[in-house]
Amino acid sequence: MVLKGPRRGMPLSAEGLDEILDGARRRAGLDHATCHELRHTCLTRLREAGMALEAVQAQAGHRSIESTRVYLHLANDWLASEYWRAAELIGADAAAVAEMLAVQTVAVR
């Protein structure tokens, strides 16, 4: 929807969207930005913030989860932090299992 002007309340046209994007790009000091790039960025940030990949897929309107995976541009530091978080959880689980087994072994004797 158009926020102001004579077309207020009417559907936003492609030209109107381009005008809004041009103004935002100038204010941000960017040489280049497209709606499609903003879509990629938004969906990538949602995933990095913890949104499930399936939820990002639904938000994007992709039929295939593979399309969503290709679409995202995940930062290496985010990928590394996800790996270490999972590794810590696996390590914690392994330690808990070892502790449970030790307790069971003592109880059986």
> How would you write the pLDDT of the chain (109 residues) with one tens digit per residue?
456 777 778 888 888 888 888 998 999 999 988 888 888 888 999 988 989 999 999 999 999 999 998 888 887 888 788 888 888 888 777 777 677 777 766 665 5
Instruction: State the distance between the two ends of the chain, measured CA to CA, in whole angstroms.
Output: 73
Distance CA 54, CA 71 (A): 13
What is the predicted pLDDT for the residue at 16? Answer: 83
CB atoms within 10 A of CB 7: 13
φ/ψ bin of 13: left (φ > 0), alpha (ψ from -120 to 50), beta (otherwise)? beta
Nearest to 59 by CA among 39, 74, 79: 39
